[in-house]
Amino acid sequence: MGDFLGKDVELDVTSIAHGGISVARLDGRVVFVSDAIPGERVVARISDDSKKSFWRADTVSVVEASPHRRDHVWSAASIDRDPADRAGGAEFGHIALEHQRALKKQVLTEALERMGKTTVDVDVQPVPGDDEVNGLGWRTRISLHVDEQGHVGPYAARSHRVVRVDDLPLATAEVETAAPLDQTFPGEERVDVLAPSEGGARLIIGDQRRTTIVERVGEREFRLDDAGFWQVHRGAAGVLTEAVQALVDPARFDPRAHNLDLYGGVGLLAAAVGDRFGQATRITSVEADARATDHAAENLQEWIGATAETGRVERWIRQLADAPASDRSRLKAATVVLDPPRSGAGKAVVDGIASFEPAQVVYVACDPVALARDVALFREHGYEAEAVQAFDLFPHTHHLETVVRLIR
């Protein structure tokens, strides 16, 4: 090991793996290749040959191009730059938008099949309006990092090294204009740029004091902290609202049950359920960030039966085991919406939910592999995926969002 590091090799790229990386073989060994497309022959530079089972490499030139290859949407991330200097966060930017979605579909269906033992045929749908602008200008939030000289920029792909860039094509025009790419911030670690639906763009520098902002979804307004969680794509909150409303089966929904919105943030999905099923809807939103819970309580105040509780879901769910019999029957009639972070819900949470046998579970997932693992865990309790939708909420990256209804 070590003899191949930095060497250029020619590779036939055969398939796509999770994480936006393609797969090739060299003398029988798997090589994970960045910036390639399945079907291509590329010259790639070995960046890691330390493992016996697989190596890593970065495409440096293309010998036989895929018909889906395009000029990269962000020159700072293209293969014209040295691999170490390529900006991260747009690892599919060299692929035609429609084919990006085909690759995402493949990753999702393969993960659900292999780990979740679940066969689905689901297209990854674009956010309305994205095709018209080639999937650009969607990020309402971006984190820039600060290097030792105080310069800001994104991290290089697969690294924590800051690279200088002069544009941010995935960001909305407001965010891109506000991004201080030519300023320096000595001593800071991070500068966040965001453009909420109201009040114009703003910067969050380091640990500056949090302030309240307003995001609008259709007619509804949500208050939240500027540094708190909100969906990144300008259309994502609306798309997920509609998806959750569509995937909650009304025949299984009981407005008086102990309905749950786990990992609820500021109450976006609890409001989606409340808007769908009306004033009498009871739902409890559970979220670890106390400031987000305070905002959720305010955002959900028009539903008398809606509450927001602060807690870590894995612990909060455990206390339900001690619920009195009357509460247990309301839990059994419940609809559980969950929208965990990238790592997914995991065994303790899935076991906790399944222990009270809710009528339906609507799982919103931003990582297909964590989702597939959790679908497998739900299957152990007799829950099967009955309906699935998938959305391209992160064009030009490998990420996708999936919403699944699970029933027993």
Ligand X SMILES: C[S@@+](CC[C@H](N)C(=O)[O-])C[C@H]1O[C@@H](n2cnc3c(N)ncnc32)[C@H](O)[C@@H]1O
Work out how close the CB of 289 gets to ligand X at its nearest, in angstroms, rounded to a whole number. 4
Q: Which residues contact 343 (CB under 8 A, 6 or more apart)?
A: 367, 370
> With respect to ligand X, which residue has the nearer C-beta, 163 or 260?
260
> For ligand X, which residue of 313, 334, 350, 370 counts as binding (CB under 6 A)?
313
Residue nearest to ligand X (CB): 265
Residues 229/263, Cβ–Cβ less than 8 Å: no
Does 54 engage in binding with ligand X (CB under 6 A)? no
Phi-psi region of 136 (alpha: psi -120 to 50; beta: other; left: phi over 0): beta
Copy the structure tokens of residue 248. Answer: 């909650």
Residues paired with 402 in a beta bridge: 365, 390
Of 366, 393, 400, 403, the catalytic one is: 366
Task: Choose among 292, 301, 300, 299: nearest CA to 341.
Answer: 292
> For ligand X, which residue of 25, 51, 312, 347 counts as binding (CB under 6 A)?
312
Pure H helices in 300-404 = 313-316, 325-332, 347-355, 368-380
Near ligand X by CB under 6 A, which window of 65-73, 195-203, 288-296, 354-362?
A: 288-296
Residue with tokens 């991330």: 77
Does 287 engage in binding with ligand X (CB under 6 A)? yes
> For ligand X, which residue of 30, 181, 246, 288 counts as binding (CB under 6 A)?
288
Nearest-angstrom CA–CA distance, 151 and 154: 10
Does 272 engage in binding with ligand X (CB under 6 A)? no
Residues 308/282, Cβ–Cβ less than 8 Å: no
Does 4 engage in binding with ligand X (CB under 6 A)? no
Work out how close the CB of 167 gets to ligand X at its nearest, in angstroms, rounded to a whole number. 28
> For ligand X, which residue of 34, 172, 231, 402 counts as binding (CB under 6 A)?
231
231 marked ligand binding residue: yes
> For ligand X, which residue of 40, 174, 275, 289 counts as binding (CB under 6 A)?
289
Q: Is 259 annotated as catalytic? A: no
Kind plus residue range of the DSSP H or E element containing 9:
strand 8-17
Does 150 engage in binding with ligand X (CB under 6 A)? no
339 marked ligand binding residue: yes
Does 264 engage in binding with ligand X (CB under 6 A)? yes
Number of residues that bind ligand X (CB under 6 A): 16
263 marked ligand binding residue: yes
Does 126 engage in binding with ligand X (CB under 6 A)? no
Residues 74/142, Cβ–Cβ less than 8 Å: no
Nearest-angstrom CA–CA distance, 81 and 89: 15
Give 210's DSSP letter: P
The residues in 321-360 that bind ligand X, with binding defined as CB under 6 A, are 339, 341
Does 401 engage in binding with ligand X (CB under 6 A)? no
Work out how close the CB of 106 gets to ligand X at its nearest, in angstroms, rounded to a whole number. 24
Work out how close the CB of 349 gets to ligand X at its nearest, in angstroms, rounded to a whole number. 8
Task: Choose among 143, 178, 175: nearest CA to 162.
Answer: 143
Nearest-angstrom CA–CA distance, 264 and 270: 7
Copy the structure tokens of residue 63. Answer: 């010998």
Does 269 engage in binding with ligand X (CB under 6 A)? yes
Rounded to 10 deg, the angle between the 347-355 and 368-380 helix axes is 40
Does 268 engage in binding with ligand X (CB under 6 A)? yes
> For ligand X, which residue of 188, 229, 276, 379 counts as binding (CB under 6 A)?
229
> With respect to ligand X, which residue has the nearer C-beta, 318 or 328?
318
> For ligand X, which residue of 135, 265, 274, 352 counts as binding (CB under 6 A)?
265
Residues 172/195, Cβ–Cβ less than 8 Å: yes
Max Cα-Cα span within the chain: 68
Does 374 engage in binding with ligand X (CB under 6 A)? no
Nearest-angstrom CA–CA distance, 132 and 327: 49
| Binding residue positions | 231, 263, 287, 339
Active site residues: 366
The residues that touch ligand X, with contacts defined as CB under 6 A, are 229, 231, 263-265, 268-269, 287-289, 292, 312-314, 339, 341
| Binding residue positions for S-adenosyl-L-methionine | 231, 263, 287, 339
